[in-house]
């Protein structure tokens, strides 16, 4: 019994030390995290900048210089590149059907979607085929309380026609108003044509209640 208690105590101490290291030195997560995400995506995912992780009633993740590489045939090097990302997630909600994202801030987001001359998209997973949808499974729903996006660009290149469409977002704001409604505004341009968008949805409490 004493020996079992000793090993149990050592295990608890080891877990505590490991958790402390992860919380205060999250950069050591980069290697394993890059490898795991790359395996899931089928393309190389790189975290070149700072990575900070804070846990508690909310999980806060801050990262810089994230990139998802395109296949060799693509004209753009990356499918996705993010200059700065800040995500605040309600911890308790991850165990529920509705996952609450308190805050999402993105600066300098670049998304480059393109197809080759056969119509194959660069976003198609390289190392696995898509599985058929499971009608019995119920996926979680994401609800965003606050979104702030700036200086971002979406590109779509049609490889068959050699035509590229470019959508620039100067600013995108999505936040909760005093009356509980979620208000969204967007300013940007599509192929150099001005784009402005506003939308209201809610109330926010109704979204949380499904």
Cα 180 from Cα 175, distance rounded (Å): 10
Which residue range(s) make up the domain with 38? 2-125+139-208
Residue ranges of E strands in the chain? 45-47, 51-54, 58-69, 78-90, 98-114, 141-144, 147-158, 163-176, 182-190, 193-201
Encoded tokens for 81: 């590149």
Cα 161 from Cα 168, distance rounded (Å): 21
Residue 34: is its pLDDT beyond 80?
no
Q: pTM of the entire structure?
A: 0.72
Q: Is 64 helix (H, G, I), strand (E, B) or coil?
A: strand
Within a domain: 134: no
pLDDT digits (tens, 9 = 90+) for 97-140: 888 889 999 999 999 999 998 988 988 865 554 455 555 545 66
Total count of domains within the chain: 1
Within a domain: 131: no
157 near 75, Cβ under 8 Å?
yes
Within a domain: 72: yes
Within a domain: 130: no
């Amino acid at each position: 019994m004493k020996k079992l208690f000793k090993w149990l105590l050592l295990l608890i101490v080891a877990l505590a030390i490991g958790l402390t290291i992860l919380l205060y030195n999250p950069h050591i997560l980069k290697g394993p995290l890059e490898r795991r995400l790359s395996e899931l995506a089928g393309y190389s995912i790189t975290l070149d900048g700072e990575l900070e992780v804070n846990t508690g009633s909310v999980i806060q993740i801050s990262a810089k210089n994230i990139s998802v590489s395109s296949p060799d045939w693509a004209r753009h090097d990356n499918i996705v590149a993010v200059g700065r990302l800040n995500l605040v997630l309600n911890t308790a909600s991850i165990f529920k059907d509705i996952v609450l994202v308190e805050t999402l801030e993105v600066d300098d987001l670049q998304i480059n979607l393109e197809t080759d001359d056969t119509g194959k998209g660069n976003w198609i997973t390289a190392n696995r085929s898509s599985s058929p949808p499971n009608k019995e499974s119920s996926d979680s729903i994401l609800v965003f309380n606050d979104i702030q996006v700036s200086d971002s660009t979406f590109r779509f290149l049609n490889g068959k026609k050699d035509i590229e469409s470019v959508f620039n977002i100067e600013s995108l704001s999505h936040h909760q108003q005093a009356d509980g409604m979620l208000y969204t505004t967007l300013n940007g341009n599509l192929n150099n044509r001005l784009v402005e968008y506003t939308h209201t949805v809610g109330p926010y409490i109704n979204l949380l209640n499904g």
